[in-house]
Amino acid sequence: MKTRYALSLGKPFGIKVKVHWTFLLLIAWIVIVSMSRGLETPQILMHIVFVLALFVCVVLHELGHSLTAIKFGGNVTGITLLPIGGMAHMTKMPEEPKEEFLVSAAGPLVNIVIAILIWIYLAVFQPVNIQEMEFVAITRENFLVMLMAANIFIVVFNLIPAFPMDGGRLFRAALSIKMSRVQATRVAKDIGQVFAIFFIIAGLFVNPFLVIIGIFILLGAKGEYEMIQYQDALRQFAVEDVLNKDYAELDAEDTLGKAAEELVHISDNGFVVKSDGKYQGILTKNDIINGLNQLGREGKVKEAMSSDIEPVKTDAKLFEVFQDMNKKRNELVPVISKDELKGILDMDNLKELIMIHKAIR
């Protein structure tokens, strides 16, 4: 999920927390449903406050995952709040079954602690009689009870053994003790897709929101399995093992017209741009097309090239570089060692390597 259209909420523990613009759709949906039920403005505002409080709990849930992952050497780039929950972005996840189990369990444990703290507060400072309490709408009287129940629901729901929920990762971690990580992920993925189909069918008759959750699980399970396959195929390689030394070059002063003509005769995704023999940037197919639209055939290559693509080192782990390229949608990445261009990484070549590996397996 891209976070371009997201509002930053701060950096607790150094982890960026953002809320995606689609979160506003959830607030709008709550207002519409509340109005259709005939609730008054104070009651509608109480429902909105409840959702905001619940998403604070979701942030704490994701921080539980993130901080535990960091403790075991993981790398967390941020947390994004979506209408269906939170998502921690991890570029590096602990792979040892025990460590993955603890990372996956940390989120639900946070919600259990929150529910226990609310229960203690209600028992000691604000005793309530749940049997006499009304739950038609969220009120000041039932707010904490509802929040406690919501945290318990988050725990139960997340423990369903389906990717990308915590239960799927806990299940995969347990399976990884007896089988390979790829095999364990495939089993967890298949079970997750069964749950996804169940949610989609149930959503057609019960609540349309379940359809969205089912689709989310379906895509998440498929994406997780694909990424594990990519990792299995690339983990044995460093960048220097697969870099392309036979790349096409252009001079920074060449025209885009020349670049377009030469592009027809090469099979690469673009060119390395140099000036006086020194690396300057990357010119991709999209750069050429956009440059021609904006600058015309006489526009210079240096005006259209991408000069902000971060070079990678020859000894970098290939899978981690692949993840970064995939995230940033970089088709070509320069490989530099000791300020000297050693070659390029081509996303198409990496995908071909993955396909060959999968075919051999």
Do residues 245 and 293 both lie within one domain?
A: yes
Do residues 277 and 135 both lie within one domain?
A: no
pLDDT, position 67: 92
pLDDT, position 229: 84
pLDDT, position 20: 78
Do residues 222 and 243 both lie within one domain?
A: no
pTM of the model: 0.72
Domain extent, residue 75, equals 1-158
* pLDDT tens per residue across span 8-42: 778 888 888 888 777 777 788 888 887 887 778 88
Do residues 41 and 186 both lie within one domain?
A: no
Query: Considering its fold, how many domains does the chain have in total?
Result: 3
CATH number at residue 336: 3.10.580.10
pLDDT, position 149: 92
Which among 234, 255, 274 is the end of a domain?
Answer: 234
Do residues 223 and 243 both lie within one domain?
A: no
Do residues 143 and 246 both lie within one domain?
A: no
Which among 116, 139, 158 is the end of a domain?
Answer: 158
Do residues 22 and 120 both lie within one domain?
A: yes
pLDDT, position 251: 92
* pLDDT tens per residue across span 182-201: 888 889 888 888 888 998 99
Asked if omega into 311 is within 30° of 0 (cis), the reply is no
Which among 102, 125, 158 is the end of a domain?
Answer: 158
Q: Which residues of the chain have pLDDT under 70?
A: 1-6, 84, 91, 131-133, 135, 267-268, 361
3-state secondary structure string across the chain: CCCCCEEEEECHHHCCEEEECCHHHHHHHHHHHHHHCCCCHHHHHHHHHHHHHHHHHHHHHHHHHHHHHHHCCCEEEEEEEECCEEEEEEEECCCCHHHHHHHHHHHHHHHHHHHHHHHHHHHHCCCCCHHHCCCCCCCCCCHHHHHHHHHHHHHHHHCCCCCCCHHHHHHHHHHCCCCCHHHHHHHHHHHHHHHHHHHHHHHHHCCHHHHHHHHHHHHHHHHHHHHHHHHHHHCCCEHHHHCECCCCEEECCCEHHHHHHHHCCCCCCEEEEEECCEEEEEEEHHHHHHHHHHHCCCCEHHHHCECCCCCECCCCEHHHHHHHHHHHCCCEEEEEECCEEEEEEEHHHHHHHHHHHHHHC
Do residues 7 and 153 both lie within one domain?
A: yes
pLDDT, position 2: 44
pLDDT, position 308: 86
Measured CA to CA, the distance from residue 203 to residue 187 in angstroms comes to: 25
